[in-house]
Amino acid sequence: MRTEAVIGAPPGRQYPGRLLLHKFGYTVMYIALAAVALVQILPLVWLLIFSLKNNQEVFGMAPFAIPAHPHWSNYVTVWSSGNIGRYFVNSVWITAVSLVCTVLLASFVTFAVTRMKWKGSSLVLGLFMVGLMIPVHSTLIPLFSMFNKLHLTDNPLSIILSYVAFNLPTTIMILLGFYYALPKEVEEAAIIDGCSVNILFFRIVLPMTSSVLATTAIINMIYNWNEFIFVNTFISSDKYKTLTVGVQNFIGQYTTDWGAIGATLVISILPILLVFVVMSERIVEGIAAGSVKG
């Protein structure tokens, strides 16, 4: 009778000690996650406070001390007299064009390797994967020489081509596992119904991979938006510079406007944060789908 009573009792009454331990474990986990989140947020808070100070306050106050009179004028200065508006627009369109080209070309390559039978497919895939092992810095001189001969230095096309070339291997590697796991029955049914290869790819395969494409798009966007070396090497005109290089305008030979630099960095971070917040669910969905299906 005692055994039956225990079995028929509600879950909370069966093992009160285990339930308490379970709640304690969740509490500790949430506290640990909150601490990690706080550590991640602190640099952003510091940067915002930093952007509201002048040079005297930057060096004379504690790092997290809020100035008595925040200098919001730093943002007006960088936008009006620092060419940040032009750099911002350049960063947006160069990042967008590079991202679309990279994701589309990587999808083409992955579809051809995983769905089509042709000689040399393994060799081509291997050549793309070799790109993962090539350091960016070792290519600066050869790329500059090549672009100079093609008259592409100080041209946004040199930046876009460099971004696409260096992001393709990583994007293809992410897409491979997902494509291998896609059910071929859907594509076979579409071919039986008379779909051409182009219609099959654009209307069936691409929509099916939208979740993992969102993940690769975010990865490419972060790299392209924050990239500095290629822009600093290949671009010399102000009209083609991006935000990462435009920060140097506030670094002089004798004086440096640290508040303006902080304001520029805050402006450059906001689009990345906004896109990540908007697409965070798609990113998690893409990672989870890839891990389960791959």
Residue 254 pLDDT: 56
- Residues 219-227 have a mean pLDDT of 90
- Contacts made by residues 270-274, CB under 8 angstroms, sequence distance 24+: 271/92, 271/225, 272/221, 272/222, 272/225, 272/226
Spatial contact of 284 and 238, defined as CB atoms under 8 Å apart = no
- Residue 91 burial by CB count (10 A; 0-12/13-18/19+): exposed, middle or buried? buried
Q: Which string of b and e fits 143-182 if b means at least 16 CB within 10 Å? A: bbeebeeeebbebbebbbbbbbbbbbbbbbbbbbbbbeeb
Distances 70 to 79, 240, 290 between C-alpha atoms, Å: 17, 32, 46
- In this predicted structure, the answer to whether residue 117 has a pLDDT above a threshold of 70 is yes
- In this predicted structure, the answer to whether residue 177 has a pLDDT above a threshold of 70 is yes
Distance from the Cα of residue 90 to its chain's centroid: 17
Residue 89 pLDDT: 92
**Domains in the chain: boundaries:** 2-50, 81-293
Distance from the Cα of residue 125 to its chain's centroid: 23
Which residues have a Cβ under 8 Å from the Cβ of 167 and sit 6 or more positions away?
98, 102, 220, 223, 224
| φ and ψ at residue 223, rounded to 5 degrees | -65, -50
- Residues 179-206 have a mean pLDDT of 86
Give just the sign of the alpha carbon dihedral 241, 244, 247, 253.
negative
What is the CATH number that goes with domain 81-293?
1.10.3720.10
Share of the chain above pLDDT 70, in %: 89
- In this predicted structure, the answer to whether residue 3 has a pLDDT above a threshold of 60 is no
Residue 256 pairs in a beta bridge with 251
Share of the chain above pLDDT 90, in %: 29
**How far is 57 from 48, CA to CA, in rounded Å?**
14
Q: Which residue has the higher pLDDT, 82 or 212?
A: 212
What token pair was written down for 258? Answer: 């640290």
Residue 294 pLDDT: 45
Tell me which residue has tokens 């500095």. Answer: 228
For the ranges 51-65, 90-104, 246-260, the one whose mean pLDDT is highest: 90-104
- In this predicted structure, the answer to whether residue 2 has a pLDDT above a threshold of 90 is no
The one-letter amino acid at 24: F
Spatial contact of 162 and 196, defined as CB atoms under 8 Å apart = no
Q: What is the pLDDT of residues 244-277, one digit of tens each?
A: 888 877 776 556 788 888 888 888 888 888 887 7
